[in-house]
Amino acid sequence: MMDLRAETNDNQYDTEHYLCVRGLGELAQGQQVRLSLGASIVVGRSRHCDWSLRRAPSYLKSDSDGRDDIRNDLRYNSVSRKHARVSYVSADMVEIENLSGNGTLVDGKLVDKIVLTDCRTETHRIQLGPKGVILELIPGSLPI
């Protein structure tokens, strides 16, 4: 895999330019991750993912019976452990790659891999599986 780090003097990710990936709806609400320029994140059900459905407030606040209800929910089961990778490749390019057999939809279209070029100005929706949770890819503090 290629190194997506931005070229800076101190060899760090570019912290001035970022996007946000946040969950929408009952199961994913409140879970948000910052995606810096040059970085990649993995989204899915596993706690090892950068954006994890198991770290969403609705999952964490529920008792053991409530968690069983969530685990039996079709929206939860549509999300794979490692479902998709979102890479902020350059200021004008975000790549979304499906890692799941359940599929990933970007703005309602089923994709294997897609490159978006308008994330600095437009919000995009990423659906994990045909019945799964929806994430928003939104501009952060990006100059337009």
Residue of 80, 71, 26 lying closest to 52 (CA atoms): 80
The amino acid occupying position 85 is R
CATH architecture, domain defined by 14-139: Sandwich (2.60)
What would the pLDDT profile of 14-63 be if each residue is shown by its tens digit? 556 789 999 998 888 888 999 999 999 999 999 999 999 888 888 777 77
* CA distances to 14, 38, 54, 144 from 84, in Å: 22, 17, 15, 27
Please state the domain extents for the chain: 14-139
Give this prediction's pTM: 0.82
Residue 71, pLDDT above cutoff 90: no
* pLDDT, position 13: 52
What would the pLDDT profile of 72-120 be if each residue is shown by its tens digit? 777 778 899 999 999 999 888 999 999 999 999 999 999 999 999 998 8
* pLDDT, position 135: 95
Q: How many CB atoms lie within 10 A of CB 134?
A: 15
- Rounded to the nearest 10 degrees, how much is the dihedral formed by the CA atoms of 105, 89, 56, 31? -100
